[in-house]
Amino acid sequence: MNNTKETIKLMACIDCLLVIANDDTNEMGNDTVGAIRGGIKDWWAEGYILVPGDDSDTFSRARCEVCSSTLAGARHEIIALAR
């Protein structure tokens, strides 16, 4: 089965990974949680569901592709699957 076209690899911040993997928002402020849930909802509206990937970069200044955070830090792979 070749469905690579239906899969997009994203790099997301640790907060997004925690929410996507475990729905863990314990340590986060309302603004952060709102940005993450908004990002997940936007991907959903585009036709994708987000699941945790395997890779992680140790450090990056790249914008988080889920919540758009520009805070430097670890980035983790998130896979967007066509739903």
Interaction site with Zn ion (CB under 5 A): 12-13, 16, 64, 66-67, 69
Nearer to Zn ion, 3 or 31 (CB): 31
- For residues 48 and 83, is the Cβ–Cβ distance under 8 A? yes
Nearer to Zn ion, 65 or 83 (CB): 65
Strand order in the sheet with 7-13: 7-13, 73-82, 48-60
Work out how close the CB of 63 gets to Zn ion at its nearest, in angstroms, rounded to a whole number. 9
Work out how close the CB of 1 gets to Zn ion at its nearest, in angstroms, rounded to a whole number. 30
- For residues 76 and 4, is the Cβ–Cβ distance under 8 A? no
Nearer to Zn ion, 71 or 82 (CB): 71
